[in-house]
Structures are given as structure tokens and as C-alpha cells.
Structure 1
Amino acid sequence: MSPLQTLYQSTTAEPTSPGSKSVEVYGFVSWVACLVAGVIYLAWAFIPDKCLREMGITYYPSKWWAVVIPTIFLLIIFWTAGVVLPSLSWALAPPLTDKRLIEDPSRGDNQFVSSDTESSKFDIPTAVDIKLSEVNAWKFREFRRKRHHNHHNNEAHPLPE
């Protein structure tokens, strides 16, 4: 069983008994409470003080807080997204000289799947991690060939050693 299947089975609830579960009730009550609090907040923010006093509502915070509270929430969101999360990312990232940035330590000895098997010529090849030494050997083969040729002809090397 894959880890995703295990995670899916552990997070999906199987109905064991008829009726509502306490989690569902708490979720609905929380949703209603947030809706009521939002309506009260918007009413307090937009209804003029004179109308509130005429309705008998005299004890409420200053309207200044109607602007400050959303501003504080936005600042917290921007601070978290712009400073805290990038800082954590930089702190947890391995150094640039770490070999894990180039090679996958869990790759094992993966080989390319040959096209002679069940796959057709139109199939996308399986993704595998190629060793860095193999990449360098392929990428710099022309340079090595020229260097080897020049070395045997007693010519200067293309690049100093």
C-alpha cells in the first residue's frame, strides 16, 4: 500500500452510525458564529454613531478599530508570506555545495527502460536520475576530444589546466 493510500484512508471518515457527528456540528456552529460576528462587525463599522445611539447601543469600541483590525490582519499575512516563509525556506535549504542539490540520494541504480519491451516508440521514457559523472561525460565529450587531439599534436591546450 502506498503512503498516499494510507494517508487517504486515515483522513476519510467511514460512517459508523446514523446521525450527525460532533465534528460536523462544531464545524457548522463555528461557521454560523463567524458569519454572525462578520455581520456585527460590518454593521458596527458602517452604521453611523448617531444611529447606533438611537438604537440604544452606546458601549462599543471606537470606529478607529474598524480600520486597524483589517490592517493588522493584512500586515500579519504579508509579514508571514514575505518574511517568515522565505526565511524558513532559506534556513532549511542545504548549502549550495551540498551534493543533495545535484543527485537524489534515494535514486539507487536506475537504468533507462529499453524501448524493446512492452512500450511503443511513442511512449514517454521513464524519468530517472542520471549520475552527474554521466552528464559531464556527455556534455564535455567534444572538449575532451579536442583537448586529446591537441595534446597529441603538441599544440597548446584550449584551456589551462
Structure 2
Amino acid sequence: MDDGVRNTREWSPPPPASPSLVVRSPRQTVSRLRTRRTHRDWDPSLGRPSFAARDHGPKPSEVYGFVGSITTVIATAVYLAWAYTPEPCLRSLGITYVPSKYWALAVPSFVIVAVALSMVIYIGLNFLATPPPTSFSTMFDENSRERMAFSPAMEEERPIEPILDIGVVQINNLMFGDT
């Protein structure tokens, strides 16, 4: 491309101050980012930037996060206003139908109990799925292999041993000695 048509400026990091590592605080990093010149992928004298150089607006995830946070704050404010404002005050504002104040305590209590019970049920299901300690499936499975016998005649062509489990007898010998 012609240098007159496209004026690109590439950012290069500043040379290190010394051969040792430079540690900067977050404040210094933010101030450097604010004072850094913007990178332009187009020549301002030619008019509009190319499609690739234009800003395409906020990402949808940013918008959804912003809308979700605002919705949560508004829903919490409405809930607290409903829960703590006396009914005569609500009627004076023109709000004639509101759910019973019983639900202001019942719904959060129900949610807390449901979460606690779901954790207890999940742990219980894991205990039910685990074999008992006396089962051989706690020591052996379909991937268990015993160590291959090695013959000294194969010294030069000895293959790499596959991944295998250490036997219970060998572990007991290593941990507790010969018993």
C-alpha cells in the first residue's frame, strides 16, 4: 500500500529503565494508558476511516450485563418497598392490589431452604453412587495394570513402561514396612 494513503503508527513498548524487572502500581499503569496516544488505522485527511478501523459500538454482553444490573437494582427496590411500606401508605399512593405481606418472608425463606436441601440431596446422591470401602472397585478398575515383568535379556530394547497403578501390597510395604 501507498504510504500517503495509509498512515499507520505502530506502538512499541518503551525501552526498559534498567536490566532488572520494573514493578509498577496499578495507578501508574492506568495513568500511562490514559496519556498514551491513540492508534489510528487511517489518514484523517482522507475523510472516513475504513470499515475495519471504525468503532462498532458496545458488545452485546456489555449491554446485557448493564441492563441486567439495572433490572436487579430496580426489582430489589420494588421488593423492599412492598415488604416494608405499610398498606395504608400504599393505598394512599393509589396502589390497591398488593400480594400479602406473608409472601415477603415466605419466598426468601423458601429459596434458602430449597438451596440448603438441594446441597444435602446432592451430597447424599454422591454417597449413594460411591462404592463401599470394602469393595474391590475402590482399589481396581478397568484401567488397573500390574507391573510388567522385566527380563535382563531385553536390556537394550526395553520399552517405556505404560502408566500403571502401584499395587496395594507394594504401598503397604513402602508405608508400613514388611509386616
* TM-score category, normalised to shorter length: 0.5 to 0.7
**Is residue 2:37 matched to residue 1:37?**
no
Question: 1:95 matched to which residue of 2?
Answer: 132
Query: How has the CA–CA distance of structure 1 residues 98 and 43 changed in structure 2, closer, same or farther, with 3 Å as cutoff?
Result: same
Counterpart amino acid of residue 97 in structure 1: T
* TM-score for the superposition, normalised by structure 2: 0.50
Question: Greater helix percent: which structure?
Answer: 1
Asked whether the equivalents of residues 146 and 167 of structure 2 are also in contact (C-alpha less than 8 Å), the reply is: no
Question: 2:160 matched to which residue of 1?
Answer: none
* Equivalent of residue 74 in structure 1, options 84, 100, 112: 112
Cα separation, 2, equivalents of 1:108 and 1:25: 54
Unaligned runs of 5+ in 2: 1-54, 148-164
User: How many residues of Structure 1 are paired with residues of Structure 2 in the alignment?
Assistant: 108
Counterpart amino acid of residue 85 in structure 1: Y
Q: How does 1:45-64 map to 2 (within 5 A)?
A: 45-64=83-102
Query: How has the CA–CA distance of structure 1 residues 104 and 18 changed in structure 2, closer, same or farther, with 3 Å as cutoff?
Result: farther
* TM-score for the superposition, normalised by structure 1: 0.55
Unaligned runs of 5+ in 1: 1-16, 111-128, 144-161
Instruction: Report the CA distance between 1:100 and its aligned residue.
Output: 5.2
Instruction: Report the CA distance between 1:78 and its aligned residue.
Output: 1.3
Cα separation, 2, equivalents of 1:30 and 1:108: 53
Q: Deviations over 1:11-58 (max 9, x none)?
A: xxxxxx742222322222122112111110000000111111111111
Instruction: Give the alignment's Cα RMSD to 1 decimal.
Output: 2.9
**Equivalent position SS for 1:69:** helix
**Is residue 2:64 matched to residue 1:26?**
yes
Query: How has the CA–CA distance of structure 1 residues 104 and 19 changed in structure 2, closer, same or farther, with 3 Å as cutoff?
Result: farther
Larger Rg: 2
